[in-house]
Amino acid sequence: MPRTKSSQRWLDRHVKDPYVKRARKEGSRSRAAYKLEEIDQRDRLLRAGMTVVDLGAAPGSWSQYVKNRVGPSGRVLAMDILPMEPIVGVEFIQGDFTETAVLDLLRKQLAAQSVDLVISDLAPNITGVPSVDQARCMTVAELALDFAHEVLKPDGALLIKIFQGAGFQEFHRRMQSCFAKLVTRKPQASRTESSEIYLLGKGFKA
Ligand SMILES: C[S@@+](CC[C@H](N)C(=O)[O-])C[C@H]1O[C@@H](n2cnc3c(N)ncnc32)[C@H](O)[C@@H]1O
């Protein structure tokens, strides 16, 4: 099938992207790893021994990064609707995060172990209808916050990708009420034209 102009533009930009080149060189599964790395370095997110849940984990660059940082004494539980190539030391559940049965699987896998950090890079498929896409993004963000509320240790943290648009202000206010400290991050690896930003809540008020 011939490439459209926009898919050709995307491909050209992708090939030249310094983060794509770096990911290839360093064996990272995606350029997304460098968003997490920047936030981790700035906000001291990860430590050895932590228990971390990675929502929307495929292809797995955040899980790879987190596993390296938490070390053998840490625990990483990842989930995605898509399959993910195994990563040594990372537990993985495949399923749709919006389904109760999948949330139950996550709870079961955690076996009541409370969590230091939930990270969510969840990004539903784009339909091209902005109001529908924004509503879907807000739905998974709300679910991720509900889940974090349920599993986080007192003083735990949530890092969550969110798209600026309808519902953002309410979500921001909800995050503020759940965490002692809330910051907004737009890492350099996050494309300027993307409306994605990351909210980091620290000091979970259980
Ligand atoms: C930007 S990618 C995550 C990249 C990942 N952080 C990494 O470093 O490799 C977003 C992911 O969210 C997943 N996703 C979107 N909606 C989902 C849902 N309802 N349930 C589970 N995963 C979902 C997608 O399948 C996709 O893999």
Asked if the structure places residue 1 within a domain, the reply is no
Asked if the structure places residue 16 within a domain, the reply is no
Q: Provide the residue range defining the domain that includes 198.
A: 32-204
Minimal CA–CA distance to 78: which of 95, 67, 66, 90? 90
Cα 28 to Cα 22: distance, rounded to the nearest angstrom: 8
* Ligand 1 probe mutation, 80, 117, 140, most atoms within 8 A of CB: 80
- The total domain count for the chain is 1
Helix (H) or strand (E) holding 135: helix 130-151
Kindly give the distance from the C-alpha atom of residue 113 to the centroid of ligand 1, in angstroms, as a whole number: 23
DSSP 193: T
Asked if the structure places residue 11 within a domain, the reply is no
Asked if the structure places residue 150 within a domain, the reply is yes
Q: pLDDT tens-digit profile of 6-64?
A: 778 777 777 789 999 999 999 999 999 999 999 999 999 999 999 999 999 999 999 99
pLDDT at 1 over 70: no
Asked if the structure places residue 6 within a domain, the reply is no
Q: What is the CATH number of the domain that holds 197?
A: 3.40.50.150
Burial 101-128 (b: 16+ CB within 10 A, else e): ebbeebeeebeeeebbbbbbbbbbeeee
156: Cβ contacts below 8 Å, ≥ 6 apart? 114, 115, 116, 117, 118, 148, 204
Q: pLDDT tens-digit profile of 146-198?
A: 999 999 999 999 999 999 999 999 999 999 999 999 999 999 999 998 999 99
Residue 67 falls in the annotated catalytic set: no
Asked if the structure places residue 19 within a domain, the reply is no
- The tokens 């921001």 sit on which residue? 172
Kindly give the distance from the C-alpha atom of residue 43 to the centroid of ligand 1, in angstroms, as a whole number: 23
